[in-house]
Structure 1
Amino acid sequence: MLPFHRKLALGTAGVALAVAALAGLAAGFIAHDKAEDTLVAQATEDTQRLLRHEGFRPEGVQATRNAQAAAQALVAAHFDIVQIYTAGGLLMAEQFSADGRALDAELPTRGARGYTQPWYERRFLPGRRPLLRLFIPLRGEGQALTGYLEGARLVPDVQRERMLADARRVGLLVALAVLVCSAALYPLVLRLNRDSQNRQRELLESHIAMMEALGRAIARRDSDNGIHNYRVAWISATLAEAVGLHGTRMQELIVGSFLHDVGKIGIPEHILLKPGPLSPEEMLIMHTHVAAGEDIVSGSGWLAGGQAVVGGHHEKWDGTGYPRGLAGTDIPLVARIFAIADVFDALCSRRPYKEPVPLETAMQALRSEAGKHFDPHLVQVFDQQAATVYRTLVEADEEQLQALLTRMVRKHFSL
């Protein structure tokens, strides 16, 4: 896996290149359109200025002659095609450059004219030849409409290349600016992200410390030194890895395993610490620790992830468990995993009132309950790793067991 700073560098570079490319293209198009607009504006201004001269104004008794003179002058200056119409749309004059008549044959015929403001359109003739068409309403004194002038100009190759070169230059400059800014911002983003990660890590470590402290407190109230929580959490995570559990669900399993009996904080000590069997009434009270535990973790923010284990670790595959009588896959997977780990640890651990049983005896007990108490598939998977798990539990002291779980926590909580 790549280190974070390399991921950030590659991600930043990728985003910067993409933004630079898009910004460069956009700037290039804008620059090209601006150059085109400038060209059109110049032609429009020159046309309107010419038509204000007496000898070129298409009005009065000399309207047709003036219109023809104006068309000739404009073709010589700006256009390949010039056509001047009356206000009613009748053609008064037209003039073509050497290539203009052939161009005119390639253009679509316009319908009725009714525009009141100058405008233009860009067309591409066969061979991607760019052509600009201008449409200019002509106005006399008092701004009354007197006619229309329509001109077409094939953009020369030299001028087109100059416009494209300018657009590329602008686009490259914008792209370069984006890349330089991204490079300058990268160290700041990296530092801020590291600061954020450190704060998140510290917060997560404080959550885990609180989880461990709460788990130990409950275990000690139940006459346990708390190491049971470490053992069952590690066994659960080991089995979970074998069935492909990871990410959030693995984190929920570890939290729930550590806090599975947190609800016992509400059980009276004369019941919790009773040395002999519980009466039916006392057993009912003991069963309430599940609901109490769910209430505790569900309202505890980060610890709420453990709710599935806390609420489901006494359910049974055949539906005879409590508190909801869930059966089969209706029982959350993390609770089914934990149930095997909890019973295996109880069988294999030394308690004040019992000695640990041998591995084969413990596994025979689990196999006999497959399909009844336990998920049969999970029992089969655990059967393949039980010897290694058992040997680790037997050989490790309390400090080593804590270290085992710490490594598992750091692995699955990305610490």
Structure 2
Amino acid sequence: MNPFQKRTAIRIAAVSIILAAIASPVSWFVARESAEESIVSLAIEESDRLLHHHNAIDLSGTDAAEHATVAARTIAGGLFDIAEIYDGKGRKLAESMNKGGEAVEKFLPHHGTPSYTAASYESLKIAGEPWVLRVFVPLRNSATDTNGLITGYFEGVRVVPAWQKEQMFASSLTAALMIGLASLLCGVAIYPVVIRLSADNERKAREVLDSHISMMEALGRAIAKRDSDTGAHNYRVAWIAARIAERMGLMGSAMQALIAGSFLHDVGKIGIPDAILLKPGKLDDAELVIMRTHVAQGEEIVTGMGWLDGANAVVAAHHEKWDGSGYPHKVSGETIPLAARIFAVADVFDALCSKRPYKEPMGFEAAMAILEKDTGSHFDPSVMTVFRTMAPEIFNRLANSTESDARQLLEDRVRQHFEM
């Protein structure tokens, strides 16, 4: 299992567990409420049947109290432990209770004269932990006519027996466990789908990234064909710049833009005539003006190319200097993009330490002396502070390296920072 798959599995498992943890108590509550309502519905139906049987619905006659008493006794011996019957004006006509009702009766909250118009119930926890359901039912001649005249009130109290509590507990627990298990199974089922989709997206992203990097290298090779010194230099200077940037904390798109810009910094030289680009001697003033146009031409090449837009910062400002004496815009200090300031150190260091057709490579001490002399004028002092500590390692690593060696070094950085 690779790191991505491991992270995905952990996240899906965490979400599944959280959903199970949320859904299970909810299902427990719903199942318990449903069980309570089932008990209450059954009790109401049974009490209604008995009240009708004993003519204790219409409680306005002279024998209403007698009928209510008989009905209350019958009901208190069945589904309810306490039965109370009131007439239409809320006056108590009868009350009956068994031993279970007697044990809890004194703990029940008192209420005023009944005046409710719809059946309801309340669930109560009494001292000693018995579970009590208290039912309130308005009586009408027709149980289905909710708008009919209320002829009386029935109130019943049921002490839920241990077996029924256990049954309700088991049903609620089963429902909660099923919901929790379903959440976990959904996570298990989703995992391979997510992995497959992610793998497809990753493959496509790699293909796009590969095409981008191939385009970058193709542009680099194109200018290298015209200027033989450019090929290995592009790889080396991009690698050096990436190493400095890593030490300075650059990452993500900023690092990717730096690498692309460093590699393509001289791409504008494609538009410089061979007579000037390949001239072995020193350029005259007119030729120098033309040579310097490679910066603007490079900007035009990379601008609007989507992924390569980030390279613009280095391509456009790699000849600017810290004190403002560079070109083409003569910007200075921190107005120069950080990527270009990092690149400037890497570019000059590599140029000094590399063999060129017109010069031998300079030694480390001599090259560093030039960089130190130009710190604060050409180079950003903060970049030099970082580079100074790593310069010996970089010099030794690149000494006598071939273009293939430099290409491999840069490829390692590309794979790291482009998440390949």
Is 1:279 the counterpart of 2:279 in the alignment? no
Secondary structure at the residue paired with 1:299? Answer: coil
Structure 1 residue 110, shift from structure 2 partner: 3.8
Secondary structure at the residue paired with 2:399? Answer: helix
Secondary structure at the residue paired with 1:137? Answer: strand
Between the aligned residues of both structures, percent identity stands at 49
Secondary structure at the residue paired with 1:395? Answer: coil
- Counterpart in 2 of 1:98? 99
- Measure the CA separation in 2 of the matches of 1:148 and 1:130: 23
- Counterpart in 2 of 1:46? 46
- Counterpart in 1 of 2:83? 82
Secondary structure at the residue paired with 2:99? Answer: coil
Structure 1 residue 184, shift from structure 2 partner: 4.5
- Counterpart in 1 of 2:363? 358
- Measure the CA separation in 1 of the matches of 2:125 and 2:287: 92
- Measure the CA separation in 1 of the matches of 2:94 and 2:105: 14
Structure 1 residue 320, shift from structure 2 partner: 4.5
* TM alignment of 1:323-338, pairs within 5 A: 326-338=331-343
Q: Does the C-alpha gap of structure 1 residues 44 and 215 become closer, same or farther in structure 2, counting only changes over 3 Å?
A: farther
Is 1:238 the counterpart of 2:243 in the alignment? yes
- Counterpart in 1 of 2:415? 410
Q: Does the C-alpha gap of structure 1 residues 373 and 86 become closer, same or farther in structure 2, counting only changes over 3 Å?
A: farther
Unaligned runs of 5+ in 1: none
- Measure the CA separation in 1 of the matches of 2:230 and 2:64: 111
Structure 1 residue 340, shift from structure 2 partner: 0.9
- Measure the CA separation in 2 of the matches of 1:241 and 1:410: 14
What CA RMSD, in Å, does the superposition of the two structures yield over aligned residues? Answer: 3.2
Q: Does the C-alpha gap of structure 1 residues 217 and 128 become closer, same or farther in structure 2, counting only changes over 3 Å?
A: farther
* TM alignment of 1:14-33, pairs within 5 A: 14-33=14-33
Secondary structure at the residue paired with 1:72? Answer: helix
Question: 8 Å contact 2:245–2:342 — kept in the other structure?
Answer: yes
- Counterpart in 1 of 2:121? 120
Structure 1 residue 379, shift from structure 2 partner: 1.0
Q: Does the C-alpha gap of structure 1 residues 382 and 155 become closer, same or farther in structure 2, counting only changes over 3 Å?
A: same
Question: 8 Å contact 2:321–2:378 — kept in the other structure?
Answer: yes
* Aligned length, in residue pairs: 414
Question: 8 Å contact 2:24–2:176 — kept in the other structure?
Answer: yes
Secondary structure at the residue paired with 2:85? Answer: strand
Is 1:35 the counterpart of 2:40 in the alignment? no
Q: Does the C-alpha gap of structure 1 residues 280 and 154 become closer, same or farther in structure 2, counting only changes over 3 Å?
A: farther
- Counterpart in 2 of 1:174? 179
Structure 1 residue 263, shift from structure 2 partner: 4.4
TM-score in terms of structure 1 length:
0.85
- Measure the CA separation in 2 of the matches of 1:39 and 1:127: 22
CA offsets per residue over residues 270-295 of structure 1, 9 Å max, x none? Answer: 76566644638964x66665555445
Q: Does the C-alpha gap of structure 1 residues 134 and 345 become closer, same or farther in structure 2, counting only changes over 3 Å?
A: same
Question: 8 Å contact 1:217–1:226 — kept in the other structure?
Answer: no
Match for 1:254 among 231, 256, 259?
Answer: 259
- Counterpart in 2 of 1:137? 138
Q: Does the C-alpha gap of structure 1 residues 150 and 339 become closer, same or farther in structure 2, counting only changes over 3 Å?
A: farther
Is 1:149 the counterpart of 2:150 in the alignment? no
- Counterpart in 1 of 2:399? 394
**373-382 vs 351-360, greater mean Cα deviation:** 351-360
- Measure the CA separation in 2 of the matches of 1:281 and 1:151: 108
- Counterpart in 2 of 1:67? 68
Q: Does the C-alpha gap of structure 1 residues 98 and 330 become closer, same or farther in structure 2, counting only changes over 3 Å?
A: farther
Question: 8 Å contact 1:51–1:58 — kept in the other structure?
Answer: no
- Measure the CA separation in 1 of the matches of 2:96 and 2:123: 20
Unaligned runs of 5+ in 2: none
TM-score in terms of structure 2 length:
0.84
The one-letter code of the counterpart of 1:32 is R
Question: 8 Å contact 1:132–1:155 — kept in the other structure?
Answer: yes
- Measure the CA separation in 1 of the matches of 2:131 and 2:296: 77
Structure 1 residue 233, shift from structure 2 partner: 0.7
**345-354 vs 106-115, greater mean Cα deviation:** 106-115
Secondary structure at the residue paired with 1:93? Answer: strand
Q: Does the C-alpha gap of structure 1 residues 296 and 136 become closer, same or farther in structure 2, counting only changes over 3 Å?
A: farther
Q: Does the C-alpha gap of structure 1 residues 159 and 351 become closer, same or farther in structure 2, counting only changes over 3 Å?
A: same
Question: 8 Å contact 1:313–1:336 — kept in the other structure?
Answer: yes
Secondary structure at the residue paired with 1:117? Answer: coil
**88-97 vs 399-408, greater mean Cα deviation:** 88-97
Match for 1:384 among 389, 407, 411?
Answer: 389
